[in-house]
Amino acid sequence: MGPMDYSLLFTAWMTGLLGGTHCIGMCGGISAALTFALPADMRTGPRLFAYQLAYNFGRLLTYGFLGVLVGLLGQHLIAPLAGMMWLRLLAGLFMVAMGLYLAGWWNGLARLERIGGGVWRFMEPLRKHLFPVNHPLKAVLVGSAWGFLPCGLVYSALTLSLARSDAMMSGLMMVAFGLGTLPFLLLTGTLASGARQLLQRPGVRQGAGLLVIVFGIWTAMPFFKGHEHAQHTGHGQHAAPEQTPASTPASPASSEDAQMDMHSHHHH
């Protein structure tokens, strides 16, 4: 992996971490509900923490799977048609939109969440069959279903993974994103209500949103640099190359003069 790969992994992780304010609001209730889905004797202490880890492990598996899918899609279909730089621009714009959403300044991504709600409702019968959660494997399966919850933050991370257009790296980026969301969801899952109230404060949400916007602009920068470089290259190609006297082809007139001169020397 090159340096850019590591920087994209870091960006994905930071997107998840900064998006914790959104996770608390959207997934925090689910995480707390999954705690109450456990038998009463498992809702405290190390056993509760272990089940919360199992839930989130399943969620990260789904994120990784989705990342591999979009990586393959980008690698074999979208990147050859549109180009990698356009995907970087799309990912950057998506992250800016996510930052605005986190800060509460624009709710355009909420429409995408409503579209994805159809998949979530389709999976409802499957989720019901997994309750009550009385085994760690069931917790992993419930967590895997949870990973399909329609979420603008997840869509933003998937767009970033799509921009990488590599199945392995795109999958790793989605896992890194999921790891970024993990601390806050573990807090809400273990019923730490104080942390939830803190992260829901407008100032905290706006600060996180601004940072995500900065990461979005940084993600899109290669597009603008590449476009500028292409313009400079284009101008260089249009400039007429200088020709040395040795490489300048002889004109028809000069050729005739040379022939006449040779002819006169021949007569002498």
* pLDDT at 127 (0 to 100): 77
pLDDT, one tens digit per residue, over 55-74 is 999 999 999 999 999 999 98
Please give the residue that has the higher pLDDT: either 268 or 98. Answer: 98
Query: pLDDT tier at 252 (50, 70, 90 boundaries)?
Result: very low
pLDDT, one tens digit per residue, over 159-209 is 999 988 899 999 999 999 999 999 888 877 665 555 566 666 778 889 988
Helix (H), strand (E), coil (C) string for the chain: CCHHHHHHHHHHHHHHHHCHHHHHHHCHHHHHHHHHCCCHHHCCHHHHHHHHHHHHHHHHHHHHHHHHHHHHHHHHHHHHHHCHHHHHHHHHHHHHHHHHHHHCCCCCHHHHHHHHHHHHHHCHHHHHHCCCCCCHHHHHHHHHHHCCCCCHHHHHHHHHHHHHCCHHHHHHHHHHHHHHHHHHHHHHHCCCHHHHHHHCCHHHHHHHHHHHHHHHHHHHHHHHHHHHHHHHHHHHHHCCCCCCHHHCCCCHHHHHHHHHHHHHHHHC
pTM of the model: 0.76
- Written as six digits, the tokens of 149 are 């919850």
pLDDT, one tens digit per residue, over 86-130 is 888 988 999 999 999 888 898 888 787 777 777 777 778 877 788
With CA atoms as reference, report the closest residue to 102 among 214, 210, 217. Answer: 210
Distances (CA, A) of 259 to 211, 250, 252, 256: 77, 12, 11, 5
The total of other beta-carbon atoms located within 10 Å of residue 221's CB is 13
For the ranges 117-121, 208-212, 237-241, the lowest mean pLDDT is seen at 237-241
pLDDT, one tens digit per residue, over 4-47 is 578 889 999 999 998 877 777 667 677 777 888 888 888 878 88
For the chain, the structural domain boundaries read: 3-234
* pLDDT at 4 (0 to 100): 52
Residue 262 has pLDDT above 60, yes or no: no
* pLDDT at 171 (0 to 100): 96
What is the average pLDDT score of the chain?
A: 79
* pLDDT at 228 (0 to 100): 59
